[in-house]
Structures are given as structure tokens and as C-alpha cells.
Amino acid sequence: MKKIALSSLLLFVTLFTMSQVPKGNFKSGAGLSLAIPASNLDISSVGGGIDILVQYGLTEKIAITADAGFTGLPGKGKYPSTAIVPIRLGARFFPLTKVYLAAKAGIGIYTILKASANYTAFSASMGYLVLPKLDAAAYYDGYTNSNSTFGIAGLRIGYQF
């Protein structure tokens, strides 16, 4: 019983302490991600990515974001590697002190061999502030244009400067 009470107290303190988005405050950071092809990317294997992100607090619970990144996916077998460069604007909502939900939209530049195409990019994620400057998130990035649609699921670790 003591373990349950102590665990509950620890969870409560972890989720409901510290302000997550100081109003009117800019934050910038960088992240690393594990990218897993999720839809219409049968020719690609698990890859990785890097990104930069800027966040501005509108209120204590809402922030606007801008990000740009690079995701590389190795090709399976004889297929070539692919790369995606997303450039997006978005928002983060903090329903709990250390938990956030995010949505982003923008452009994704998809490259395979020497050809590239522009896609409408959209993303949804759920994250957790592990430490004041470190967060972890699970995400889904979708890309669509008049010819095709594909998606990537992943895990991201981010650090704020």
C-alpha cells in the first residue's frame, strides 16, 4: 500500500509542478528522431532525423512553434535511400504541466535519387517534459500531394537551449 501511495504522489508531483510555457517567452532547441516508415513507404527501412524547433508561449498552456528538419530513410534491398525535409508551423497545448499535444503543418520536400517533389506536410505528436530542458515525444508525420501520400511514425528526443 505504501508503494502505491508513494507512486501516486510521485506521479502527481511530476505531472503538476513547474510552469511549462512561460507566456511571451521564446525557446529554441534541437532534436533527434527514430523514423519508422508507416504508410506507402514499403521501399524504405527505419531511419533517423534531426530538427530544430522554436517555440513562443502565447499563454501558460499554449505555444506556437516553427520547425525544420531532415529525415533520412535507407532503401530496402535494391531500392535507393530517400530524404524528407519538413518545414512547418504549429502549436503545442499543455493539458498537464509536463504533457503536451502538438500539431504542425507546412511543406515537406521529398527526395529520391536526384528527383524531388513538394508535399503538404502535417504532423501530430504527444510529448512529455522529462527534465526542464529535455522532452520525449511520439509522433506521426504525414505527407500528401496530387500524386501520392505517405507517412512516418517515430520517437523524438529534444533539448532546449
pLDDT digits (tens, 9 = 90+) for 50-107: 999 999 999 999 999 999 999 999 999 999 999 999 999 999 999 999 999 999 999 9
pTM of the model: 0.83
The per-residue pLDDT for range 58-73, each reduced to its tens digit, is: 999 999 999 999 999 9
Domain limits, the chain: 20-160
- Amino acid letter, 92: R
Whole-number Å distance between alpha carbons of 68 and 50:
9
User: For domain 20-160, which CATH number applies: 2.60.40.10, 2.40.160.20, 2.30.29.30, 3.40.640.10?
Assistant: 2.40.160.20
Quote the pLDDT of residue 59. Answer: 94
Residues 6+ apart with CB under 8 A from 138: 125, 126, 127, 153, 154, 155, 156
